[in-house]
Structure 1
Amino acid sequence: MGVERYESPDATTVAKVVETALHEGAVVTAEVNCEVEYDGRTSGFLGPGDRLLVAKPDGTLLVHQPTKHKPVNWMPSGGTVITTVSEESEDPVVVARRVNPRERVEVRIHETYGLTRFDASDAAEYEESGTEKEMHEFIEANPDSLEDGLRVVEHERETKYGFIDFYAMDRTGTPVVVEVKRVQATLTHFDQLKRYVSLYEDDGEVDTAERDVRGMLVAPSASERVKRACRDAGLEFVALPEFETDATSVTDATLADFN
């Protein structure tokens, strides 16, 4: 591991350090004033401002504004990053591009406050906590966390529509179909639960006495729209906020999602 720091480097130094570092497998970060242009599935422009620029040897390029955790512009891994000096403005220009889909992000740097080359070594595998499997284990061991008196009858019961996460009984003996989601509940999840519950309203799936089944959607959170859809359909939403983390990565958005 090694770190090289450059304070207020000129354009030639920026271009040389970035090109050499990425070629040799190092990560580069820079505090800059820049503007950004994107061309690909859509087009976009971000005017001048102070930002943090991160370039990685796998072709990843990230442009962060001073606030918010997600980059305002980025190129995912798999592309190429090159750096030149503009003949017209004599400013460093960092360009990230990929072929499929055809996209291009161009960062024109007006001022570089600082530049760092980081020769990093990291072979560790990320181990995530709060996964859906852990939610299942928690619910199976603590059904009262969903409702007092709830009893799990079967975990992952198979149906013609897929596997029901939990088939349970409430304290009155009424069947409860429980669908668990690791992320914020959506209308798609609501529709999935509704399909499962419909199985128990049709002849042949369960005994006649069991057709008055309840449906319960469990997730860290849900929008008011999803909660309203559940209420209108006679279903229930139960929040487990202790499992709520930011499970959305930058790859879930598109390059056109910047300001």
Structure 2
Amino acid sequence: MRLVIARCTVDYAGRLTAHLPSAKRLLIVKSDGSVAVHSDDRAYKPLNWMSPPCALKEEDGRWTVENKAGEKLIITLEEVLLDAEHELGIDPGLIKDGVEAHLQELLADRMEVLGEGWSLIRREYMTAIGPVDILCRDGEGRTVAIEIKRRGEIDGVEQLTRYLELLNRDPLLAPVRGVFAAQQIKPQARVLATDRGIDCVVLDYDGLRGIEDDKLKLF
């Protein structure tokens, strides 16, 4: 990972245009090629960014980051205060709470709940950016990556999107489609997942454990 603190301006040219005037900012270049521009607020959210696959070209105090669609992020460096690189290595990934870990284990043992003929390839399938909860094949033999959450929110969809972008570069696995599975999925997360071609599945924790729901149901 490369960290640069610099006074700079930032211009984005693509489906729309955006401009950040001169100010001190943190620029992050990750090993996957992504570039993010951060200020000293907004928590984790960058002011602007370019997701991989993209290419960074540096010349005369000017960075041009371009993706396959021709969109460009142009960063003009006026003063560089820090420029450092650090090798972080492979991250072990987020340690899930007990419910999420148990959901993963239960679903891996009962792939048939997703459809006839579904089969497990492996749990915690490791990638360069972290482990995919479940990698499996559907009834037609297609590769599927499943991200499991207790509560499905937009961040989980973004996480699965990054895994899919990486997995689909592997010719032995591609094409890989995604399933976002959770006990509860927020409406915004469902809309984003649908827009990206990701299926959503609501998991019944008690059902996976084989416990019948004694509440009355309307049919």
Q: Which has the higher contact order (CA 8 A, sep 6+)?
A: 1
Question: Of the two, which has the highest radius of gyration?
Answer: 1
Could you say which TM-score interval applies, normalised by the shorter chain? Answer: 0.3 to 0.5
Select the structure that is richer in strand: 2
Q: Report the TM-score, using the length of structure 1 for normalisation.
A: 0.40
